Amino acid sequence: MKFAVIGAGGIGGYFGGRLAAGGHDVWFVARGDNLTALRQDGLRVQSIAGDFAVAPVQATADVRQIGEVDFVLLCTKTWQVPVAVARLEPLIGASTGVVTLQNGVDTPEAVASVVGRDAVLPGAARIFSSLASPGRVCHVGGPASLAFAEWDSRPTDRADQLAAAFSQSAVPAAASADIWAELWAKFLFVVPVGGVGAATGAPIGVLRSRAGTRELIFAGMREIRDIAVALGIKLPDDAIGAAMNFTDGLPAAATSSLQRDIAAGQPSELESWTGAVVRLGARSGTPTPVSSVLYELLSLREAQSGAGAGPGQAPGTAG
């Protein structure tokens, strides 16, 4: 199968690399030093599931060089999505699927507004990975698994073919019976952990071991659960317990991409993470005191650093 991976960072580099190593026709869309490294030295992945490398690598900054594909893996940061989606047309055929793998719950709708809901497969990646240096991805935690589905979660041959392609490439993957519950379950985990981590500067091992920060994470998760219920999302009854169990199993030194970006003074996904919780809480009439405080603190910090969400850049890395 033919794939275009938009954003060859921690997410795109790992999953696209697995597909390429599995024998699929994979093109990476990247920029800058990362693009140069991919072209010159290939892709190297250091992973707790086993290191691997792909060379040579098909990499470009111009999607017109690729042509139509079976699937697009959209792996940019959320604030890069508008520019990335505006450039998808040369990749899209009659049955092309666009798999959204951003952390958040609103990207699928943003992408569908451009390419149509029939083209979009909302997806959730469960992995802690980052671009360690140009052309080198480091996977330090999580099962490195994928869940995705058609917009309405109906079974289709297209979703089954995508699951088979990943499974044959050493990636646990499955078409979900309720992809929106999957997206919200991940949202419930990543946003409180990312927000508390960014506000404190502490790694996950510290956050989960201190009573105060652990309770802040729990409280943030409860807020997101309550919003989901108000919006009719059918989260599992044990969603919070499962999220905390996942947190407790991560490497103690792990940090979220939100935390790393804010600490480095780079554009972050704060608006589509904590900001989205505050907005959705207001829309659904759900109180969000913890998320609101975290959002105010972190948005002020970003304003003072001059960072915040970028205006939209060419597809690059994603963590």
pLDDT tens, residue by residue, 217-247: 999 999 999 999 999 999 999 999 999 999 9
Please name every residue paired with 85 in a beta bridge, in sequence order, or none if there are none: none
Query: CB burial class (10 A; 0-12, 13-18, 19+) of residue 118?
Result: exposed
Indicate the average pLDDT of the chain. Answer: 94
Tell me the domains of the chain and their CATH numbers: 2-178 (3.40.50.720), 182-305 (1.10.1040.10)
The whole-angstrom separation of Cα 107 and Cα 23 is 29
Nearest to 190 by CA among 91, 270, 81: 270
Per-residue confidence band for 312, with pLDDT thresholds at 50, 70 and 90? very low
pLDDT tier at 314 (50, 70, 90 boundaries)?
A: very low
Q: What distance in Å separates the CA atoms of residue 299 and residue 293, rounded to the nearest whole number?
A: 10
**What's the predicted TM-score (pTM) here?**
0.91
**Does pLDDT of 163 surpass 80?**
yes
- pLDDT category at 17 given cuts 50, 70, 90 is very high
Residue 307 has pLDDT above 90, yes or no: no
Identify whether the C-beta of residue 100 lies closer than 8 Å to the C-beta of residue 149.
Answer: no
Helix, strand or coil, per DSSP, at residue 149: coil
Beta pairing partners, 121 = 99
- Specify the higher pLDDT residue, 315 or 286: 286
Helices (H), ranges, 266-318: 274-284, 289-305
List the structure tokens of 300: 């002020």
